[in-house]
Amino acid sequence: MRGPIDSHCHLQSLTPDEREAALDAARERGVSGFLVPAIELDDAELLLELCHRHDDVWCALGCHPHQASSWRDGDGERLRGLLADPKAVAVGECGLDFHYDISPRDVQIRVMREQWQLAVELDLPVVVHNRESNDEMLEVARSPDFADLRADFHSYAGGVEMARELLEHGFYLGMSGMVTFRLADNVREVLEIAPTGRLLVETDTPYLAPVPYRGKPNRPAYVVEILERIAQEIGITAQEAAAATCENFFRLFDRAGSDEALGSVV
């Protein structure tokens, strides 16, 4: 049986040696795959080089809302070209972050919409960042322009009501180390209404380390603890949760299952 896949880990935040050590440590614990989302377009060269050295690593390419002000005319076409690489299996990380407001809100919305439109055109999923922007996010998601959008709302913490609407759209929810936090009932409540077939598991390395690693940099190996807590909350075994979330991963990020993108991982 395949081990869990860390569907969101920012390995580009680590030094090259740390990156390799983190991958090895995760594999030793049975983790079978890793998706590394870009923060900015300039991440692409590093991420694609990493992916092409490892059969079990894929990437998403795009522009995080914090970096939305850096988006320039022509970046959509630049991104289109980068996404031709079979190891690039999604657009992102993109979305809205109204907690920090590092980029102006109207710019965040415009840049997110441009990336979503490209994803729909290329039939690729998006990896979505959403923080304190539920109403604006849902307004965009309801647009007929995005009726065919496929999405992973990563590190989901938007509450039950938003989750219901996202699930109705056919979107997936990424469960991070927050599910283990003592005060994160708002995250665990989502597991009561979300079908197992719409869940992904992630670390968001190097952020949001799960219990018992709180206060330490997160690592892909810790996806095991996150998966175990998810399994406990929904009343299945960790092995069943691993199998379900892996199936979900390859259903959403279907390019990752292609011969070109998989390499020897079968």
* CA geometry: angle 22, 24, 29, nearest 5 deg: 95
**Rounded percentage of the chain residues whose pLDDT exceeds 70:** 98
pLDDT surpasses 50 at 264: no
Domain positions in the chain are: 5-261
Average pLDDT, integer, range 242-251: 98
Q: Is residue 263 predicted with pLDDT exceeding 70?
A: no
pLDDT (mean) for 197-215: 97
What pTM does this model have? 0.96
In this predicted structure, the answer to whether residue 248 has a pLDDT above a threshold of 70 is yes
**3-state class of 265 per DSSP?**
coil
User: pLDDT tens digit string along 24-69?
Assistant: 999 999 999 999 999 999 999 999 999 999 999 999 999 999 999 9
Torsion from C-alpha of 194, 93, 66, 162, nearest 10 degrees:
-20
Backbone angles phi, psi at 84, to 5 degrees: -70, -20
Report the pLDDT averaged over residues 241-255: 98
The whole-number pLDDT of residue 265 equals 44
Average pLDDT of the chain to the nearest whole number: 96
| Listed residue (204, 149, 206) closest to 179, CA to CA | 204
Is residue 260 scored above 80 in pLDDT? no
Q: What is the rounded CA–CA span in Å between residue 34 and residue 58?
A: 6
> Per DSSP, what are the bridge partners of residue 175?
201
8 Å CB contact between 130 and 96 = yes
In CATH terms, the fold of domain 5-261 is TIM Barrel (3.20.20)
Tell whether the model's pLDDT for residue 266 goes beyond 50: no
Dist. CA 66–CA 105, nearest whole Å? 10
At 183 the pLDDT is 95
Work out the percent of the chain whose per-residue pLDDT is above 90.
95
| Own/partner long-range contacts of 166-174 (Cβ < 8 Å, ≥24 apart) | 166/141, 167/193, 167/194, 167/195, 167/198, 169/141, 171/141, 171/198, 172/198, 172/199, 172/200, 172/248, 172/252, 173/198, 173/199, 173/200, 174/7, 174/8, 174/200, 174/201, 174/202
